[in-house]
Amino acid sequence: MNMLDTMLGAQGGDATQQLGRQFGLNESQVSSALSALVPAVAAGFQQNMSSQQGLSGLLSALGGGQHQRYVDDLNTLSQPGTTADGNGILGHIFSNKDVSRQVATRASAQTGIGADVLKRMLPVVAAMAMGAMSRRMSASPAQPEARAGGDTLLNMLTPMLDSGRDGSIVDDVVGMLGRMGGH
């Protein structure tokens, strides 16, 4: 199951309803918003995982951050601490607020949902993405970074990143990060 499916299916689909109430969106809009935001967040995680330091930091955060609560207890999504945690996650994966703003603006153009709503939603989405990866880690804890196949974090991120459906994420990630960075 990829990250988007895990997030949409959290608590039997109630995550979509919770996000809708929280951000004033209907279920279709929430699904569209997540479909636009999650690939950018996944690309940020993928970029972060490309260095040994980034991968070690991510695995450490997943091991001790109790992020799984963001997909297991939907009440946490509306708490201020979730937004703060999500902003911290975004800071690690995007390195600056301009990239987050560009992600929200691009997602707004794709979905027709206001960029201001998506900017507020992005930290919660980042926290939920960490929760989805944390859940995956707890289900298969044996060195996900070292396994080439099977149920790894990379396999969870890859379907979100291969927009060309050509089996390679390299061109998609480079293009996505280039557009986010203004290159």
Q: Where are the domains of the chain?
A: 3-180
Note the pLDDT tens digit of each residue in 50-92. Answer: 777 877 777 777 777 688 898 888 899 999 999 999 999 999 8
Separation CA 159–CA 69 (nearest Å): 24
Do 36 and 111 touch, CB atoms closer than 8 A?
A: yes
Predicted local distance difference test score (pLDDT) of residue 112:
96
**Is the C-alpha dihedral spanning 152, 154, 157, 159 positive or negative?**
negative
The two three-digit tokens of residue 175, written as one number = 């293009």
Predicted local distance difference test score (pLDDT) of residue 80:
92
Segments in the chain forming alpha helices (H): 3-8, 14-23, 27-49, 52-64, 69-72, 80-94, 97-111, 115-139, 153-161, 170-180
